[in-house]
Homo-oligomer: A and B are copies of this chain.
Amino acid sequence: MADSSSGDPATESRLTPQLTAAGRPATVTVDAINEHGAAVQACIPGEHPLTLYLDKREIVTLMTLGAAPESLVLGYLRNQRLVARLDDIAAVQVDWETDSAAVTTRSGNADVGQRLQRRTVTSGCGQGTMFGDLMESLDEIDLPDDVRLDAATLAALLDNVRRQDSIYKAAGAVHGCALAASDGEILMFVEDVGRHNAVDAIAGQMWLKNMRGGDKLFYTTGRLTSEMVIKTAQMGIPFMISRSGLTGMGHAIARKIGLTVIGRATGKHYLLFSGEHRFEYDGAPAKAGSPA
C-alpha cells in the first residue's frame, strides 16, 4: 500500500510514509451452542484496541478488526484533519504487542493542539469523535458535476458488492465499504467492526495511492448519517450508495453540497435522495432541470 505508483493519473514522485504491514487475522473461531442445544463452532470478527500516538502524543483509541491498521490510522488522521498532507507523515508503526500505532511526522512536532481541544463534535454511530468542526469544511467541498452514473452501472456495482468475498458473510458483525471505479468495478473493499473505521481505511488507502475521488463511486453497508455524508464528500467522491437508509441531517447536508446519494439499494429497489443530475435512468437524467 506504500506504493504510490499503483494509483491514479498523478504519479509524480511523492514522499510516502514508511509503513508496517501489521494486519491481523480478521476472524476468530469460538465455541457456541445453537438453538438445538448442540455445541457448534462460530466464526466471529476480531476486535482490538489500537491507540494512536501522533509524535508521541496520545490521540485516540480505535476499536478495530485490525485487518488494515496502517490505512485506518492514515485515513483517521486525514478525515479528522489532524494532518494536512501525506508528505508530512514520515512513518506509521503499528505494534500489536502494545496495541499501538505510532505516527511520526517529518517535522516531529505535529500541531494539533487546537483541533484536539475541539474534539467535542461527534456523530455517526451517535458518539463518534470528530476533532475540529467537520461542518466547517463543507464550504471547501466542490464535487464534479460532469460525471454520471446510470442505472445499469449501479446494478453492476451492487452485484459486485454481493459477490465480494467478505468477513460479513463468514462472521457477521462488521460493516463494509467499497471504493469503485465509474464502471462499478470494486477497487478497494474494507470491512471493520465500525463503519467509520472502514471509511477511514478507504480514505487512507486513497491517500497513499494518490487517488482522486471525482471519478469514483463509494458504497457502504452502513447507515448514511451526517458524518458518513461529510466523509464521502471530503474524499471528493460525488456518488454515495448504501443498502441502508439516510438520516434527516445526512439528507440536508447531501443536498446542500450536491452529493448524489442512493439509499436502501438492495438490488432491485433503491431510492435516489439527492444529486439527481448525475443519475441516469435509461440514458435520461432522473429529473430534468433539477440539479440538487
Q: Once bound together, how far apart are the Cα atoms of A27 and B172, in whole Å?
A: 28
Contact call A247/B47, Cβ cutoff below 8 A: yes
Contacts of A10 in B (CB 8 A): none
On whether the beta carbons of B63 and A273 are closer than 8 Å, the reply is no
A36-87 interface with B by 8 A CB criterion: 36-37, 39-40, 42, 44-49, 51, 58-64, 76
CB neighbours (8 Å) of A108 from chain B are: none
What 0/1 readout, one digit per residue, does chain A (188-207) give for beta carbons within 8 Å of chain B? 00001111110000000000
Which of B193, B223, B271 touches A193 (beta carbons < 8 Å)?
B223
A227 close to B63 (CB less than 8 A): yes
Do B32 and A271 touch (CB < 8 A)? yes
In the bound complex, residues from chain B placing their C-beta under 8 Å from that of A174 are 223
Chain B residue, CB-CB nearest to A282: B37
Taken together, the copies of this chain in the complex come to 2
A63, A197, A286 — which one has the most chain B CB atoms within 10 A of its CB?
Answer: A63
CA distance A244 to B168 in the complex (A): 11
Contact B47 A250 (CB under 8 A): yes
Chain B proximity of A69: nearest CB distance (Å): 12
Per-residue interface assignment for chain A, residues 201 to 220, with 1 indicating a CB less than 8 Å from any chain B CB and 0 otherwise: 00000000000000000000
Known A127-B60, A127-B194: A173·B227 in contact at CB below 8 Å:
no
Q: Chain B's nearest CB lies how many Å from the CB of A196? A: 5
Contacts of A40 in B (CB 8 A): 271
Whether the Cβ atoms of A195 and B126 lie closer than 8 Å is yes
Q: Is there an interface contact between B192 and A126, defined as CB atoms closer than 8 Å? A: yes
Asked if A30 is at the interface of the complex by the 8 Å CB criterion, the answer is yes
Q: A147: CB under 8 A from chain B?
A: no
Contact pick for A281, options B37, B63, B286, CB 8 Å: B37
Knowing that A28-B251, A34-B272, A125-B126 are A-B contacts, what are 17 other residue pairs whose CB atoms are under 8 Å apart, sorted by A's residue number? Answer: A30-B251, A30-B273, A35-B268, A36-B281, A37-B286, A39-B287, A44-B248, A45-B245, A60-B122, A60-B127, A125-B127, A125-B196, A126-B194, A172-B245, A173-B223, A173-B247, A193-B225
